[in-house]
Amino acid sequence: MNTGLAGGLVGPLMGVAGGLIGTYFSIKNTTGPRERTFMIRSAVVCWVGVGVFLAAMFLVPQARPWLWIPYCILLPLGIRYGNRRQMAIRREEEGNA
């Protein structure tokens, strides 16, 4: 097996493993039921979104440059929204306790 093929197989596996570990700990480290529900929904939306992006990259190769535009805009906006919403839910849950 040559180095390129090994890197082509190991790299994506490491990326997916890192994503799964990050998802697990993001959900595990929540403080209340509403926050946990939000994090689960956020994780599902993120995994589906990235999966659709990757599928489009493979299935529509002529559109690859254009697919990066919405991805590079929506991903940071989604992360920002998710972080703010999570903090708001956490504050609300702490206030109710």
Cβ atoms of residues 41 and 89 within 8 Å:
no
Residue 1 pLDDT > 70, yes or no? Answer: no
Dist CA 52 CA 6 (whole Å)? 25
Dist CA 9 CA 3 (whole Å)? 10
Confidence of residue 7 (pLDDT cuts 50, 70, 90): confident
Give the Cα-Cα-Cα angle 38, 40, 43 (nearest 5 degrees). Answer: 105
pLDDT for res 4: 87
Cβ atoms of residues 31 and 93 within 8 Å:
yes
Give the model confidence (pLDDT) of 31-80 as tens digits: 999 999 999 999 999 999 999 999 999 999 999 999 999 999 999 999 99
Task: Indicate the domain borders of the chain.
Answer: 3-96
Give the pTM: 0.84
